[in-house]
Structure 1
Amino acid sequence: MKRSLYFKPTLLAAAIAAASSYSSSSYAAGTEASSSEENILSTLEIKGQAYRNTATKTQLDPDETPQALSIISAENLDARGVETVAEAVRYSSGVNTELRGGAVTRLDLFNIRGFDNDTVLYDGLPLLYNDWNLQPQIDVIAIEQIEIFKGPTSTLYGEMPPGGMVNLISKAPQDRSKNTIEVTVGSDKKRDISLDTTGGVNKDINYRVVARANESDGQAVTSENKRVLIAPSLDIRLSESTQLNLNMYYQNDPDMGVYSSLPSKGTVYDNSNGQLSSDAYAGDANWDVYDREVLLLGYKLDHKINDTWRFLQNTRLTMADAYQENTYSAGLDSNERTLNRRAYLTDESSEGVNIDNQLSAVFDINDTEHNILVGLDYLKLNSDIQYEDAAAPSLDLFNPNHYQIVTGDLDFAASGYSSDFTIEKEQVGFYLQDQIRLDNWVFIAGGRYDNFTYDESGTKYGAAASTRIDQSQLSGRIGALYQFDNGLSPFVNYAQSFEPISGSDKSGNAFDTSTASQWEAGIKYQSSDFVASATAFEITKSNVLTNDPDGTAYDQIQVGEVRSRGIELEMQKEVTQALSVTAAYTLQDVEVTKDNSGIEGNTPIWTPDQQLSLWLNYAPLTGASLGAGLRHVGEMQIDSANSDTVPSYTLVDLSVGYDLTQLSADWQGTSVKLAVSNVFDETYYSCYDTSNCWFGADRSVEVSARYSF
């Protein structure tokens, strides 16, 4: 089923030599130029190169970036005892996470500023997702830092939802030797062991190896979670001007909980038979499989061409497979207890490649510093998908028998839903950005051209499948920030994004690309012990698909529009040497502003009206740490028709840690930690519609012991 990949040549190879030649020859020509030219070129001052952040792909610090950006550091992840990426972003403004509840752990799905996003980036490259059930998922043990880029990001990253994106920064090799082993046990019979080792092989080579093995019972009855991963990497100094990073990420998830949903009656709503328990399960233990294997192979080549120009190539190969057996709801009977079900399976495999080429230059012209970025990126994904569907025995939700399905009794041929098809995605993007400093001003202007193609062929749901997208798009952004000497930095920006749309209307006219734009203004503040930001934004997404009022139930047209407005507040404050506080608040108003199917004026699902989070870290004694967090998520709509709301909820988290070195020198490098999520075991929900709801995560208690040497 798998196809071989066709690798396109790196088009910037010639541009590197040309740019290098141009830079040196232009500088030399300045000595013989006319007087006016000499005045310009003689002021050229070469600048250094540093870390490239998510929002700019340059060395600009987050507090200097004229766009909202949230950073979750390694210290923050460790202080909260974070176990997943979904947990990690809980305390960030503008992000609603764990959209499919606590029992579903196989994917990272976020709603950012009112728009769903299932595209996660890892070290600046998208994790290739086939839009079905095969999505690589990075374990938090391999992550050094998480960066959340708010608002449209297409100018640097191409196809992307307009609310923002999450970029996971991997743990990098270090030259100083450090080894850490950690063992964790917890509720739901959790058992976990992890290793993180790093150091220098010699003066030119550093290594790092991260590994983990864990298993636990899932929140839903009969379900389990299992994972094994290893992520080695090498930093190699090839020369004084060239650095090479080689990296691999391998993960096997032989069992990843459940994916099925529950009806709203018995969860959000009262049921005449009583309320369901938060461990309720609508599936069948005999027909419950999710087995995923992912291998990522990559390299980063960073080459200093000369004192002005630098080239970075970031490349990753993806090979992944997933096999799934599951059930879905076919409706709840009038007795409110009998759930009709269907069984299905998917067998999926993917191969893909990402390449991001970045050519940058930093120089001064008179009093103005320029950081020029020229980029060409390429993405290709081939995915083969098989799907089967059959009728399954119904389930009594209040007296469930989770061992009814007999595989041999499932009649897949009778359903007519058999599918065997291939998805091919390809995106080529060229982008240009200039970051300018003038006195206390920072300006950013950038533009990008993308060509996106998508082909779907084969048999889908019993019929021939033939879907083709070939869409091109220009996107851009411009922003400005002014840094006052007192630490305040007001900023404003305008940014655009796009998402390709497949299909056509009833007349055969292909749909256009869905586009979005954002206006954002805010202010940032930074001092030695206080970092804060306040941001206001408005995002408008156009060309949204809606039902065709003059067509069938399956005909669609592009007249929809969604507008999201909001305010986000974030702050981190060291109150004393022993006490620090982190807080975030989001107030948003998301509305369907154009529609012809009766939902104009409604709020999309998974968009809470407000969110509030607060985390306190307190170190009362040397070696001791106490952490306490509060998370409030406001009410959400239960469906697109806004027939009712999902109640708001407020949860409390706790963390207690102690360095055992304080007790005895024999315990040097040993520490213990207790982490409790949802301390009071509050029951809460998330819903897609009244037929598909999920319980939020139950209380979890984990105790870990760490030894570093």
Structure 2
Amino acid sequence: MMRHGAAMSGHGTLRPALRRGAAAVALLALGTPALAQTATSPAPSQTEEVVVIGQRLPGSSAVKSDAPLIETPMSVSVIDADRIDLLGQLTVNQALRYTAGITPETRGGVVTRYDQFTLRGFAINNSFYNGLSGMYAGWYALIQPDVTTLERVEVLKGPASVLYGSSTPGGLLDLVGKRPVDHAVNSVDLTVGSRDLFGLSADLGGRVDSDGKVLYRLVATARRGDGQAVTTENERMVLAPSLTWKAGENTTLTLLGLFQRDPKSDGYGGVPALGSVMDNPLGKVSTRFYDGEPGFERYDRTQKMAGYEVEHRFNDIFAVEQNLRWQDVETDYRQVYASALAADNRTLSRASIYSVEDAEGVAVDTRAKADFATGAVRHMALVGVDYQTQDATMEIGYGAAPSIDIFNPVYGQTIAQPPVYYDIDIDFHQTGLYAQDQMKLDRWVLLLAARHDWYKQTQTARRPLAGEQVVDQGKTTYRGGLLYHFDSGFAPYISYSQSFEPEGGVDFNGQPFDPTSGDQWEAGVKYETRDKRTLVTLSAFRLTRDNITTTDPDHPGFSIQTGEARSRGVELEARIGLTETVEANAAYTYLDMEYTKDNSGLKGKTPTGVAENTASLWLYNTFRDGALKGLGLGAGVRYVGKTWGDAENSFKVPSYTLVDAALRYDLQSLSDGLEGWRLDLSVNNLFDKEHVSSCYSTAWCWYGATRTVQAGLRKSW
């Protein structure tokens, strides 16, 4: 059964919203476009913002080590907090707009409660947070840490199961939270903007004691505003404390917490294709149309997380690390949603749904590392074991709702509480044992890794039928890569990687299904200048996802695992320091994705929300001298090509091109008495281009975000 709000493509019965995959490649460490400096630059003042472009990222998600990205034979994009802040982006989904391999915001500007997009051809719902799975149970209780709490977003492209266990072949996102640093980071931000946006946030941190053995960080945010759809609103309150204790020269412990309350979360509905992507003889549906009922609907979510990261170094060779997180996500969701448009082209039939969920779990990852040499070969080796467990309870009901006129909607109709349909508990455990060695001989880099996972899920139902379903599966995955780093800065590479996802259900003979799997070959070349201000990656890939369940032609009503999806394409991603003050970021993706084997009519089709071509260009200039000293100006253009609007590929969603702009001004340039004060202004979709982000069917399409303007005032000290 496809649940309302899923609007996903793909096969599978276990955790359907995670059954996605496809492919693309690239690597881009996006440094802040303002005041970028190299590692040899002078130390900054307290109020100066400096990010080292192309720097090594401690604990990089790609290889769980501090190996530089230029020597990593796989594709990773990194978006730092300053880039997110500069563009006034309030969600991770928005932060991915300039990232290659991604068709962003498939739910457009109306839906902001989830970060929904396609990566290498398939929808990605489950984000990782600080290297640990978000433990998505498959319905509506998803984590979504606020962007103000994040240090950076790492996009791992292609299969990543060898280090992370169950994940889609398209890749995964690792959201890296802010943590204490050994210098003062104190700032307060006031933000106002379109749709009555008002926000206040603080980021405070530094030393607790004079020796710097104890460090702290506290991020607090409160924000409210109106949604793009009429009558919808959003509210959020966030508190993210962290504390680091340097127990000795070789031992560090960091405690991390997050409490986030989202009493209101905009809308979750859409518009019919007639009147948005297709001509309707009665006119155009408003970009602010709301298909729900304000008196009935709600999405109230509470996220709680607590954990730690500990590292102990025994000597120059051996070290051990462990990170652990407990999390609990509670949601109370009610929605009235569109069903179909009547023959009169204006009457939209609707239905209702509600869901009350509580998903609580623990994830832990422990790894031992060794940095050593055998002759002329240097090894960065690690062996680890991770474990996660979750208990999720959910009560879900479906009901009727009165229709509505899409051109003259009248709200306030009475909606009865839907009757309970599902009443289930889901309990799962996953254990993985993995090993990896990144070997370097002169300028050659060879990466080899392997992992085995044990996965067990038990679903206990009380409704609609009492019973228990158990999925008990295991899978071994591999990854390998070879790279040569020339003195000139070029680094050609080739890699192979695998992924898996558990698959529930049985075939006609009662045999449990095997996990679905993904395999990717990728080849490319990276180029990085010595000052690390320019980084370019050109890559090509072919990814296949197989063991997909599809209709059993010999036994109607049953499935067999003979389905297959293939994704292949080329990506170019570049960050170029044009001058000392001007930086350009560019991305282009060509993606050819289709179902290559299927018995239900999908063979040769492309999933919805997947663009064949995407491209973007961002330019930013910082004025350091003259009358404009202290001013930063940026402008960007992003293009998303046509996408198919339904599973049958019967109609297409038009392409769109949008323009963004940003301004940043250091007010100290006006007076020394304004030291630490900064003004920010960002405009997204500058020309207010009306566009549809994607469709799932003729009944469900989503308008993209209309023009938004944000102004901010920051005080740092």
TM-score, length basis structure 2:
0.89
Quick one: distance in 2 between partners of 1:226 and 1:359? 42
Quick one: distance in 1 between partners of 2:611 and 2:332? 34
Aligned residue identity for 1:488: F
Matches for 1:581-600 after TM superposition, within 5 Å? 581-600=584-603
Partner of 1:653: 660
- 3-state SS, counterpart of residue 350 of structure 2: strand
- Greater RCO, CA 8 A, separation 6+: 2
Among 690, 695, 707, which residue is 1:687 paired with?
695
Quick one: distance in 2 between partners of 1:695 and 1:550? 42
Aligned residue identity for 2:685: N
Q: Does the alignment pair 1:443 with 2:446?
A: yes
Q: Does the alignment pair 1:490 with 2:497?
A: no
Matches for 1:230-245 after TM superposition, within 5 Å? 230-245=239-254
Among 531, 547, 552, which residue is 1:543 paired with?
547
Q: Does the alignment pair 1:428 with 2:431?
A: yes
Per-residue deviation, 1:546: 1.6
Among 348, 351, 356, which residue is 1:347 paired with?
356
Q: Retained in 2: the 8 A contact 1:160–1:498? A: yes
Partner of 1:98: 105
Quick one: distance in 1 between partners of 2:197 and 2:76? 34
Matches for 1:49-198 after TM superposition, within 5 Å? 51-198=58-205
Quick one: distance in 2 between partners of 1:68 and 1:330? 40
Per-residue deviation, 1:116: 1.8
Quick one: distance in 2 between partners of 1:492 and 1:670? 47
- 3-state SS, counterpart of residue 414 of structure 2: coil
Partner of 1:33: none
CA deviation digits over 1:563-620, x for unaligned, max 9?
Answer: 1001111111111122110000001100111111222111111110010010000124
Q: Does the alignment pair 1:418 with 2:421?
A: yes
Aligned residue identity for 1:319: D
CA deviation digits over 1:110-137, x for unaligned, max 9?
Answer: 3111122112111111112121000110
Partner of 1:248: 257
Q: Does the alignment pair 1:531 with 2:535?
A: yes
Q: Does the alignment pair 1:393 with 2:402?
A: yes
Partner of 1:504: 506
Indicate how the Cα distance of structure 1 residues 390 and 50 shifts in structure 2: closer, same or farther if over 3 A, else same: closer
Quick one: distance in 2 between partners of 1:268 and 1:518? 34
Quick one: distance in 2 between partners of 1:690 and 1:50? 44
Quick one: distance in 1 between partners of 2:552 and 2:691? 36
Per-residue deviation, 1:555: 3.0
Unaligned runs of 5+ in 2: 1-55
Q: Retained in 2: the 8 A contact 1:262–1:693? A: yes
Aligned residues: 653
Quick one: distance in 2 between partners of 1:350 and 1:670? 42
Q: Retained in 2: the 8 A contact 1:80–1:627? A: no
Quick one: distance in 2 between partners of 1:469 and 1:329? 34
Matches for 1:583-622 after TM superposition, within 5 Å? 583-620=586-623, 621-622=628-629
Partner of 2:393: 384
CA deviation digits over 1:54-94, x for unaligned, max 9?
Answer: 11011111111011111112332233232211111110100
Partner of 1:300: 309
CA deviation digits over 1:284-329, x for unaligned, max 9?
Answer: 0111100000100010010112332111000000012100111122
Partner of 1:375: 384
CA deviation digits over 1:418-472, x for unaligned, max 9?
Answer: 2211011211000011110101011100000001111111234x22353221110
Partner of 1:561: 564
Partner of 1:704: 712
Partner of 2:10: none
Per-residue deviation, 1:235: 0.8
CA deviation digits over 1:327-350, x for unaligned, max 9?
Answer: 122322211211111122111001
Aligned residue identity for 1:74: A
CA deviation digits over 1:130-178, x for unaligned, max 9?
Answer: 2100011011101111111111000000001011111111112122223
- 3-state SS, counterpart of residue 156 of structure 1: helix
Aligned residue identity for 2:617: L
- 3-state SS, counterpart of residue 587 of structure 1: strand
Q: Retained in 2: the 8 A contact 1:79–1:627? A: no
Q: Retained in 1: the 8 A contact 2:271–2:285? A: no
Partner of 2:479: 477
TM-score, length basis structure 1:
0.90
- 3-state SS, counterpart of residue 259 of structure 1: coil
Per-residue deviation, 1:50: 8.5
Q: Retained in 2: the 8 A contact 1:434–1:445? A: yes
Q: Which has the higher helix share?
A: 1
Once the two structures are aligned, what percentage of the paired residues are identical?
A: 40
Greater displacement, 226-235 / 258-267: 258-267
Quick one: distance in 2 between partners of 1:61 and 1:147? 14
- 3-state SS, counterpart of residue 163 of structure 2: helix
Among 271, 276, 288, which residue is 1:262 paired with?
271
- 3-state SS, counterpart of residue 348 of structure 2: strand
Q: Retained in 2: the 8 A contact 1:252–1:292? A: yes
Aligned residue identity for 1:695: Y
- 3-state SS, counterpart of residue 418 of structure 1: strand
Quick one: distance in 2 between partners of 1:367 and 1:664? 57
Q: Retained in 1: the 8 A contact 2:86–2:682? A: no
CA deviation digits over 1:607-666, x for unaligned, max 9?
Answer: 100100100001243210001011100111111211111111100000011111111112
- 3-state SS, counterpart of residue 689 of structure 1: coil
Aligned residue identity for 2:153: I
Matches for 1:332-343 after TM superposition, within 5 Å? 332-343=341-352
Quick one: distance in 1 between partners of 2:172 and 2:661? 28
Q: Does the alignment pair 1:362 with 2:366?
A: no
Aligned residue identity for 1:467: Q
Q: Retained in 1: the 8 A contact 2:519–2:545? A: yes
Q: Retained in 2: the 8 A contact 1:586–1:611? A: yes
Quick one: distance in 2 between partners of 1:145 and 1:499? 26
- 3-state SS, counterpart of residue 389 of structure 1: strand
Q: Retained in 2: the 8 A contact 1:421–1:465? A: no
- 3-state SS, counterpart of residue 145 of structure 2: coil
Quick one: distance in 2 between partners of 1:374 and 1:175? 30
Unaligned runs of 5+ in 1: 1-48
Quick one: distance in 1 between partners of 2:707 and 2:297? 24
- 3-state SS, counterpart of residue 271 of structure 1: coil
